[in-house]
Amino acid sequence: MRNRYVGKKIDRVDARDKVTGKALYSADFYLEDMLYLKVLRAPHPHARIKSVDVSKARTIPGVAMAISAKDVPWVKNFGMIFKDQEVLVREKTRYMGDALAIVAAETETIARQALDYIEVDYEPLPVISDPLKALEKESPYIHEPREENCDPGLNPGNLLCTHRLERGDLERGFSEADVIVENEIRTPHIEHVALQPEAGVAKYDKETGVCTMWVATQWLHDIQADVAQALDMKTEQVQIIQPAIGGAFGKREDVSVHIIIALMAILTGRPVKMEMTREELMITQNKRHPIIFRHKTGVKKDGTITAWKAEVIGDTGAYASTGSAVVHQALYMCTGPYNVPNLSGVSYTAYTNNTYAGAMRGFGATQAAFAYETQMDCIAAELGLDPLEFRKKNAYELGSMTPNGQILTTSVGVKDTLEKAAEVFGYKPDQLSKEENGKIRGIGVASSMFGCGYGEGFPDHSIVDLEVTDEGKILVHSAAADVGQGILTVVCQIVAEVLDIPLELVELAPGDTHTSKNAGSTSATRQTIFSGNAAKLAAEELLGKIYHRASLELVKHHPQFLVQEGEIVLQGTETRISLAELAKIAREKGDPLHAEGCYFPRTDVPDEATGQGNLVYVAYTFNTHIAEIEIDKYTGETRVLRVVAVPDVGRVINRIGVEGQSEGGTVMGVGMALMEKQVIEEGITKNADLSTYLIPTSLDMPEIITEIVESGDAAGPYGAKGIGEPALLPAAPAIINAIYNATGVRFFHTPVTPDQVFKAIKDREKKNS
């Protein structure tokens, strides 16, 4: 079959609006008679709140309202999985981002100044910023203990959850090993740095009881539900209209301004707007989870892995957010795309007084990839094996079993990605570092796996609605959030492909909880699979309805029709009718040309004691990076010169989209490897701005070569898999492994900074002298 759009380089459907400035982001919205909101945050990371007095703030000219928790006792807690977070703190702050009071004023300046007049009386409590300390039984409780947290020997008020993995015979596996390698590997807090800070506008209609918001989110319907339950409203009373989204990377899965703007619109009876500053955003909103990995791996002299033991400790900060899912995914991915017959693992998710952690690109699999790829490189070095060949020897193939017990039966391209990466890079086994004029070059390899979709039995679906308009266009209703990854372009491509019409005839309705059905979140690398399949199902159904209506209008038997450039053509004749005309006739006869597609696959809930299941994820994306770096031995500065990235995406839908995600993920990996760390000491964020929190700039860009492997036969439309998160996973470990190749010094943390590299080189030189 000829592919008109699938697999091609198709320009983004939203590109023109973004380039010309026509696209409106949350902060761009303005409503008449609008108030501006500011929030007073916690004075201490862990404190007993005795009182919050807003009376003086209320006397400031231009202040319309100032409230604290005692003014809204009916407001309920919120949270992604556990409802453990207060909209306004009543008794105790748990981190510096906790909200104590809200001011609504005629201008943003007045609202900000009024915060200085709010008086807070509080009693500081011990601050716990180390997850290992938090889990000690004698540590003060951050939250009240829950019965399900009763893991013997651990703190029930600071342990969010425990997960386990068990398969095979670990003791026997280690007894069969010739070499056992043990390491502790750590990753830090990392900030998402989406270009657009959190902002939103809301208005309340007293007559209908509906609160309408223009605010960005990665999951329209989940945030709608969270706002509704927190404010004791019916779901249909909350309407969220999706503006253009200036990046997300997981940050916009969590509630930010959403409940606050809805609450204040209702209380004041006026439209309201809230926009966070970058500093406020970096202190209050979720981070990537810092995770400690303790790996112990048994391996034979020929490189065959026999056993793997893992302990994973994650810091979820003051509130759960998605911590329970992120940290246990780090456990479930702890051995990477490699065959391990005997394994045992446990993960602990701990509360601390740090900024809460949540979803960020990779969702635990990013941290896990750095840990297992560091471990794999250490093993290869210990055995004297080439790191790429060692990975190939143990890599998954058809019939392999994941840590969760899922047998891989389709689309397993990890070995293909290793081989293609080596070919494109010009990789030679046992390549040694090179030194010239004080510059040392090194090469590093890393591979990764990522389970697409929520998986693990979590209800996961997407719905796409299509209708033919009276203008002959195909109008797409989808709540899938396009955070820059291009899902709406993919949906339009698929619709145009199925109907065989010009892409220009496919239009997008705005994402809106009142007019679009649930598409699930833009996370878990799921939208191409889920919304892509839903769009394909809807388009196929719509095509059938178009042909049926055409047969009723043109002839009385069942002819062969073709859709050609917006017209229905009766094959072998000059008979034709336009889509616009057909749509009008169908609507007049009470049978509009409309179709709905719903994709709702089932996955297994892993066994609680062993973590084992049959179908845990609908598909796995694999990726390999080979990085070349250069180190200035006199300064320790590391530059990434070249990265060859080879993802296995099953089947490409939009080639530009895949390449763009690969490049963006690689650059984010450069930041993770060499510079990015949100420094939080005793609960206080030390680098809450972009002058002290460093991210890669154009001057840090390596040459990035993306070569795509299409293993096909995956769960997505036309055999596709996702790429958004897997694009990042191998980048940081490949770079850190290249630093080892260049210097002979192994780093077990990120980021690796110039001072650390310089010191390591000097220490090695002293040792060798």
Say what the pLDDT of residue 433 is.
Answer: 74
pLDDT mean over 45-67: 98
Query: Which residues have C-beta within 8 Å of that of residue 376, sequence separation ≥ 6?
Result: 336, 338, 387, 390, 391
Could you tell me how far CA 195 lies from the centroid of its own chain?
15
Nearest one of 457, 459, 478 to 467, comparing CA atoms:
478
pLDDT at 569: 73
pLDDT at 554: 75
Structure tokens at 60: 């400031």
Within 168-235, strands assigned E span 179-187, 199-205, 210-215
Q: What architecture is domain 31-125? A: Alpha-Beta Complex (3.90)
**Is the pLDDT score of 75 beyond 60?**
yes
Those residues with Cβ within 8 angstroms of residue 224's Cβ, 6 or more apart along the chain or in another chain: 235, 238, 239, 240, 513
Its CATH architecture, for the domain 287-402+410-455+607-768, is 2-Layer Sandwich (3.30)
The per-residue pLDDT for range 281-306, each reduced to its tens digit, is 999 999 999 999 999 999 999 999 99
Residue 201 has pLDDT above 80, yes or no: yes
In tens, the pLDDT along 687-698 reads 999 999 999 999
Question: What average pLDDT does this structure show over 353-374?
Answer: 98
Name the architecture of domain 15-21+457-599: 2-Layer Sandwich (3.30)
3-class DSSP state for residue 305?
A: strand
Euclidean distance between CA atoms 551 and 136, whole angstroms? 73
State the CB neighbour count (10 A cutoff) for residue 733.
32
Q: Is the pLDDT of residue 719 over 60?
A: yes
pLDDT of residue 573: 64
Q: Which of 711, 718, 722 is nearest to 657 (CA)?
A: 722
Does residue 656 have a pLDDT over 60?
A: yes
Q: With 90 as the cut, is the pLDDT of residue 571 above it?
A: no
Mean pLDDT of the chain: 95
- Does residue 653 sit in helix, strand or coil? coil
Split at pLDDT 50, 70, 90, the class of 379 is: very high
Mean pLDDT check: name the lowest of 204-213, 480-489, 544-553, 593-602: 544-553
Question: Can you tell me the distance from the alpha carbon of 532 to that of 538, in angstroms, rounded to the nearest whole number?
Answer: 10
Identify the band that residue 570 occupies on the pLDDT scale cut at 50, 70 and 90. Answer: low
Condensed to tens digits (0 to 9), the pLDDT of residues 455-481 reads: 999 999 999 999 999 999 999 999 999
Strands 35-41 and 272-275: parallel
Q: Where are the alpha helices (DSSP H) in 83-169?
A: 108-114, 131-135
pLDDT (tens digit, 9 = 90+) per residue, 423-449?
Answer: 999 999 877 678 889 999 999 999 999
Q: What average pLDDT does this structure show over 400-420?
A: 97
How far apart CA 235 and CA 513 sit, in angstroms, is 10
Rounded Cα distance between 439 and 637, Å, is: 10
Domain 31-125 shares a fold with domain 287-402+410-455+607-768: no
Tell me the Cα Rg of the chain: 27
Q: Report the percentage of the chain scoring pLDDT > 70.
A: 97
Domain limits of the chain? 15-21+457-599, 31-125, 287-402+410-455+607-768
Q: Rounded mean pLDDT of 363-369? A: 98
Q: Are 87 and 78 in contact (CB under 8 A)?
A: yes
Pairing relation of β-strands 638-648 and 703-706? parallel
pLDDT band at residue 561 using 50, 70 and 90 as cut-offs? low
Confidence of residue 572 (pLDDT cuts 50, 70, 90): low
